[in-house]
Amino acid sequence: MARINFNQIFDRNPTTGVITPKATVRVGGVTFGPGVTFGPGVLFSGIDLSRFINNDFEVDIEGNVYIVRGIYTNNPNQ
């Protein structure tokens, strides 16, 4: 496992808030990759990833796939 920052996995347009994965990502049973765009309120396996911008993620890396296993946050409201 590795601890990596949100910004290593995703690009975010600060003007529009649109988020795009830089590589293939799996969250729970949902796999998505470059070309997919989403914003606040979109859930992947029940998780709104936009709430965790700038947080660190615990991931397994299998080939070119980042498998999110957990999210580190110091904010209890997240």
Residue 47 carries which side chain, given as an amino acid letter? I
pLDDT tier at 73 (50, 70, 90 boundaries)?
A: confident
Q: Which of left, alpha, beta for 9 (phi over 0: left; psi -120 to 50: alpha)?
A: alpha
State how beta strands 65-72 and 19-21 pair: unpaired
pLDDT tops 70 at residue 75? no
Beta bridge partners of 77: none
Look at the block and give the residue holding tokens 């049973």: 29
Q: What is the rounded distance in angstroms from the CA atom of residue 42 to the CA atom of residue 61?
A: 23
Look at the block and give the residue holding tokens 């709430």: 51
pLDDT tops 70 at residue 7? yes
